[in-house]
Amino acid sequence: MKQFDIPTIYRSPIISKVKAARKDKDPRKKDFTPSVLDFGPVQFYIARHFGFCYGVENAIEISYRAIAENEGKNIYLLSQMIHNPDVNEQLISNGIQFLQDTYGKQLIPFEHLKSEDVVIIPAFGTTIEIMARLAEIGVDVQKYDTTCPFVEKVWNRSEKLGKEAHSIIIHGKHQHEETRATFSHSAQNAPAVVVKDMEEAKVLASFILEDKTQAEFEEIFAGKFSQGFNIYRDLDRVGVVNQTTMLASETQAIADYFRTVMVKKFGEAKIKDHFADTRDTLCYATNDNQNATYGLMEVDADLAIVVGGYNSSNTTHLVELLEQKYPTYFIKNVSEIQNKYLIQHYDIHENKLKETLNFIPEHQPLKIILTSGASCPDALVDEVLQQILTYFPDAKSLESVLESIELAD
């Protein structure tokens, strides 16, 4: 896989060695058990796969190239490059301005742009309408387009489905930048509708199987379907694609569910006329991160720490998985570990920060699971590990533990 030129501030002296050792031992990622860093009184279980993915590193490399190549020019990011506050703050400190927030609210009017200005398209991609608006201004929208190739793969699959007269069911969060972009590209070629989860998928299925009205559909799925979507015409041939940061297993479950729905309505013999197999749109990084998280869940650990941006969809899904088994703390960076006794962390269910006292159990050896989302630099995970180590003065040295990992693998 291509090696990207990204700032050294995002690299890590610890995690990079762990990842390198695992890659040497298991280059095809057949083993998703975690790596163990045993410091004696505290043990860290490091996920087999996590951190910056191909699309994120590509986006960061292009963004910093835009900065280097355009000194003195106005450089804008259409919205957040990725969902990580540290990365976005670094870009702002280098002079980049955001045109929109993560929900599409305009921060700087497009009318302020000039043709010579630089606009970076984020890794999530953007809508056809926004690309056309920028092109109308005269901005070169292709030069610094960092859209993830795996997102583009979903768009290409949607186009193919549309040309085959399928309607597109998008598994995603309809307000997320990537889903807005995928919806725009899908709706250009076919009727499209967004479902957030299996519950919404079952509601949509009721319009396929039951005698329900168009008015009911438009009320329930308001803001989530393409113009002119007709339930009596557009739910006879469907295919499922996804926001790439959703749980891959959930996307597949939703696709499998719609296949059973179409079999129920049209029969197994005619299923190919009514349902398209789209499992090839699942993102490798999201899938690997989630498989690595299932590997972590085989461990008998005391707690889990997940590092990443609070608005990161893929990171949130890792938290959802881990909290099924462990006390799980979702933090944006090391600053939220206040001290050995107090941690500030994000509650994904109440959408707010919380504080937990005595989050580190007293017994030894303490077993801590550590992972991060696809938009989180490994350097931030390093900082968390090193901070926790300061609470264990009798721990083995970092150098000796890393050496033992390298020798073992």
| pLDDT averaged per 10 residues, the chain (length 409) | 81 91 91 96 96 91 96 94 89 95 93 96 95 96 94 94 96 94 96 98 96 96 97 96 89 95 97 87 81 96 97 92 97 96 97 96 96 94 97 95 74
pLDDT at res. 280: 63
**Which residue in 157, 152, 196, 124 sits closest to 279, CA to CA?**
157
CA–CA distance, 292 with 231 (Å, rounded to integer): 39
CA–CA distance, 172 with 154 (Å, rounded to integer): 12
- With H, G, I as helix, E, B as strand and everything else as coil, classify residue 131: helix
Instruction: Check 61, 152, 164, 178 and give the catalytic one.
Output: 178
Q: Which helix (DSSP H) or strand (DSSP E) does residue 330 occupy?
A: strand 328-331
Q: Which fold has domain 8-53+285-408?
A: Cobalt-precorrin-4 Transmethylase; domain 1 (3.40.1010)
* Beta-ladder partners of 225: 193
Over the stretch 349-407, which tens digit does the pLDDT of each residue have?
999 999 999 999 999 999 999 999 989 999 999 999 999 999 999 999 999 999 888 65
Residue span(s) of the chain under CATH 3.40.50.11270 come to 54-137
CA–CA distance, 335 with 202 (Å, rounded to integer): 42
Q: What is the CATH number of domain 149-281?
A: 3.40.1010.20
- Considering only CA atoms, give the Rg of the chain: 23
The architecture (CATH level 2) of 54-137 comes to 3-Layer(aba) Sandwich (3.40)
Residue 371 phi, psi (nearest 5): -155, 180
Q: Which helix (DSSP H) or strand (DSSP E) does residue 234 occupy?
A: helix 231-234
- With H, G, I as helix, E, B as strand and everything else as coil, classify residue 64: helix
pLDDT at res. 1: 58
**Which residue in 262, 231, 104, 276 sits closest to 179, CA to CA?**
104
* Beta-ladder partners of 198: none
pLDDT at res. 278: 81
For residue 80, give both structure tokens.
Answer: 């957040």
- Known active-site residue 178: yes
Residue span(s) of the chain under CATH 3.40.1010.20 come to 8-53+285-408, 149-281
pLDDT at res. 284: 80
Over the stretch 85-131, which tens digit does the pLDDT of each residue have?
999 999 999 999 999 998 899 999 999 999 999 999 999 999 999 99
For the entire predicted model, the pTM comes to 0.88
State how far the alpha carbon of 270 is from the alpha carbons of 138, 262, 273, 362, 376, in Å.
49, 9, 6, 61, 45
**Mean pLDDT, the chain, integer:** 94
* Beta-ladder partners of 352: 347
Let me know: does 383 contact 334? Beta carbons within 8 Å. yes
Q: Which helix (DSSP H) or strand (DSSP E) does residue 342 occupy?
A: strand 342-347
Work out the widest C-alpha separation in the chain, in whole angstroms.
Answer: 69
HSE, side-chain direction, 13 A CA sphere, residue 239:
26
Let me know: does 373 contact 315? Beta carbons within 8 Å. yes
325 sits in the region (left: phi over 0; alpha: psi -120 to 50; else beta) called alpha
